[in-house]
Amino acid sequence: MINIADVARHAGVSTATVSRALSGGHHVSPATRLRVEASATHLGYVVSSNASSLASGRMKNIGVVVPFLNHWFFASVVEGAQQALQRHGYDLTLYNLTGGLEARRSVFEHFLLRQRVDAVIAVSLELTENEVARLHALNKPLVGVGGPLAGVRTLTVDDLAVARLATEHLIALGHTRIAHIGGDKAFDLDFNLPTNRRFGYEAALVAAGIEARRDDFRPADFTTAGGYQAAKQLLGRPHERPTAIFAASDEMAIGSILAARDLGLVVPRDVSVIGVDDHELATFFGLSTVAQFPQQQGEKAVEVLMEELRPHPESRTGLNVNMPFELIVRGSTARPAV
Amino acid sequence: MINIADVARHAGVSTATVSRALSGGHHVSPATRLRVEASATHLGYVVSSNASSLASGRMKNIGVVVPFLNHWFFASVVEGAQQALQRHGYDLTLYNLTGGLEARRSVFEHFLLRQRVDAVIAVSLELTENEVARLHALNKPLVGVGGPLAGVRTLTVDDLAVARLATEHLIALGHTRIAHIGGDKAFDLDFNLPTNRRFGYEAALVAAGIEARRDDFRPADFTTAGGYQAAKQLLGRPHERPTAIFAASDEMAIGSILAARDLGLVVPRDVSVIGVDDHELATFFGLSTVAQFPQQQGEKAVEVLMEELRPHPESRTGLNVNMPFELIVRGSTARPAV
DNA sequence: GCTCGTTTTGCAAGCGATTGCACAACGAGC
DNA sequence: GCTCGTTGTGCAATCGCTTGCAAAACGAGC
């Protein structure tokens, strides 16, 4: 393995100069810089990140922690983050908290603390105060995606506003019986996302002078199958069937469309359906939805971190960064039949 | 930050002893080992992985390279690998080759070579000889998932056998007009997966004395939408509609089911559908399929690597490891109507 | 009690960079 | 020609751990 001394010898300079020339090139004359770079590429030299990190204290590596990966949303966030990091010359080390409490502790006690990462991105993860404190104590920046997280900069979409937007879309079309499929308690652990969406839904109804009926709400588990079940219940009632369904995720919305079809109902003639996410299957099903952009969220998380990692974080923006969302109208929503 | 010398002082031994006590504990008396461990936890000591790696040459870190993450199969493989690695005390550094050739080169030239990883897992990636050679030159073990890859240990499912199994299932049910939705040329780049599945399909037909008709094959892009399109074509023909479809992926199979429904056909009465993967939506759609177990593949890749990383890789198994697959019969396949 | 083999332990030399400090080189200004 | 300010370079300490080698400690055997 060829090291910095080899390059120095070959270029006829000291290792100090090589180091400076290859990292930014400050305080090095253009001529020598060029010479060093030539030698480096000629010899096929690549810095040892370990030695570099040990000496400098910078790891050039970010830890990303997700609850699971096996899901469109998380995978997209990670993908976005990965690409952004690559542009910045950083590595991404992935941690998964699926393994239960044991795995979770192990991640925090050993992996993250092993001086491996400069900072941490926590995706849809409700960290305990202890965990946050530990990270802070190590002076490691932490940004959350999906939040808020006490004392942590977090990127969030305003779930309340998202839900309101979706519901208002239906109201504007003339619907007055609008059902909602949200999350059950188990999913509320993560930042009350389902609750917020439900509140947004109710707020929109109330603002329009529509009563939010308790039996127009069904909890489900954010899967297609769960949405299907819930929609069947909602649409199968003999009287007062809702003319529109707002599902808190696209997968549940797709389940609803399939349920409607199986009941012989035509979407959107008999029932309008709208979701949240802009899942990859949304286009295929012609699903109207409020898009959030997970990949973009991953990228943005990286930008925020990079800023925080800069020596003089002068322009620290506020704690919470609001992420964009957007109503995308496709074929699954229309005026109710008269 | 507290370091090994602090622990040594606190335990009343030398740093050498601390190092040995904390890593395996060989050549250290049980008594001192206990004392050192106590001091370490008491002081909250965690080894600096950089210093450790620099001194030992072991990184305790594996690079995983995927073409994209945003897809059920890849995400599952990575998830499996991540969990297995965590059990072994290794980190997983994720590399993504989505960014085109530029990103690809950057990964190989800078990231992987930066002495960051002990080994590399390449998922569904056709590496150039150059890339493989480079890794070999660095003496870094490399295992592929999905293969084969020249000169590399690879975990593969026997795509030919998978396709044969699916097709034979249909034949055994009594089908004689069996269509196939495979991949188009663009997807053949990766290890001829589509071609192999097509060959398996044809082999099964031929073995059963059934002619493989050219117009019973349609290429698609492995998406639900693509499968839908292709199935419409196949099922919409006025004469000689096939009674069964074997799709090379579950997503395309699901597209086929939806296409059949839209044509007013009932699955499986009018047409049987079988896929490959055991995608998370397969259960919901009652889709018969040949399951492959991506998560398991990720785990297995790690096992293979760990073995290769061991000092004396005595029992090197052969180059290619065959991964299991399994026919799962649900409601989408049945005897053809008479 | 002495010798010899086996653990246990410590010393100290790396591993391969980064970086503060000091010095050299080089013009500019007078 | 001399001083002063920049700018460019090198010296050498440092980061925190691992590990080969040698010494110390410890029993066992006689």
Report CB contact under 8 Å: B54, A54. Answer: yes
- Average pLDDT score over residue span B127-134: 83
Q: At what angle do helices B30-43 and B4-11 cross, to 10 degrees?
A: 120
The answer to whether residue B283 scores a pLDDT higher than 80 is yes
Q: Which residues of A228-251 are buried (b: 16+ CB within 10 A; e: fewer)?
A: bbbbbebbeeeeeebbbbbbbbbb
- Average pLDDT score over residue span B20-49: 91
The answer to whether residue B324 scores a pLDDT higher than 80 is yes
* pLDDT value, residue A311: 64
* pLDDT value, residue B152: 85
pTM over 0.75: yes
* pLDDT value, residue A135: 81
Question: 3-state secondary structure string, chain B?
Answer: CCCHHHHHHHHCCCHHHHHHHHCCCCCCCHHHHHHHHHHHHHHCCCCCHHHHHHHHCCCCEEEEEECCCCCHHHHHHHHHHHHHHHHCCCEEEEEECCCHHHHHHHHHHHHCCCCCCCEEEEECCCCCHHHHHHHHHCCCCEEEECCCECCEEEEECCHHHHHHHHHHHHHHHCCCCEEEEEECHHHHCCCCHHHHHHHHHHHHHHHCCCCCCHHHEEEECCCHHHHHHHHHHHHHCCCCCCCEEEECCHHHHHHHHHHHHHCCCCCCCCCEEEEEECCCCHHHHCCEEEEECHHHHHHHHHHHHHHHHCCCCCCCCCCEEECCEEEECCCCCCCCCC
State pLDDT tens for residues B210-265.
998 999 999 999 999 999 999 999 999 988 899 999 999 999 999 999 999 999 99
Residues of chain A short of pLDDT 50, as ranges, are none
* pLDDT value, residue B98: 73
Residues in chain A with CB shorter than 8 Å from the CB of B86 are 95-96, 99, 103, 106-107, 111
* pLDDT value, residue B136: 82
- Average pLDDT score over residue span B20-48: 91
Question: Are the C-beta atoms of residues B73 and B277 closer than 8 Å to each other?
Answer: yes
**More reliable by pLDDT, A117 or B125:** A117
* B28 CA from C2 C1′ (Å): 27
Tell me the one-letter amino acid at B163: A
Where does the pLDDT of residue B187 fall: very low under 50, low under 70, confident under 90, or very high at 90 and above? low
Where does the pLDDT of residue B190 fall: very low under 50, low under 70, confident under 90, or very high at 90 and above? low
* pLDDT value, residue B280: 92
C-alpha span between A242 and A234 (Å, rounded): 7
- Average pLDDT score over residue span B91-104: 83
Asked if A24 CB < 7 A from strand C, the reply is no
Strand order of the β-sheet with A288-292 is A217-220, A178-183, A244-247, A272-277, A288-292, A325-328
Where does the pLDDT of residue B97 fall: very low under 50, low under 70, confident under 90, or very high at 90 and above? confident
* pLDDT value, residue B291: 97
Selected for mutation to probe chain A from B2, B41, B45, B70 (highest A CB count within 10 Å) is B70
The answer to whether residue B330 scores a pLDDT higher than 70 is yes
CA–CA min distance A70, chain B (Å): 5
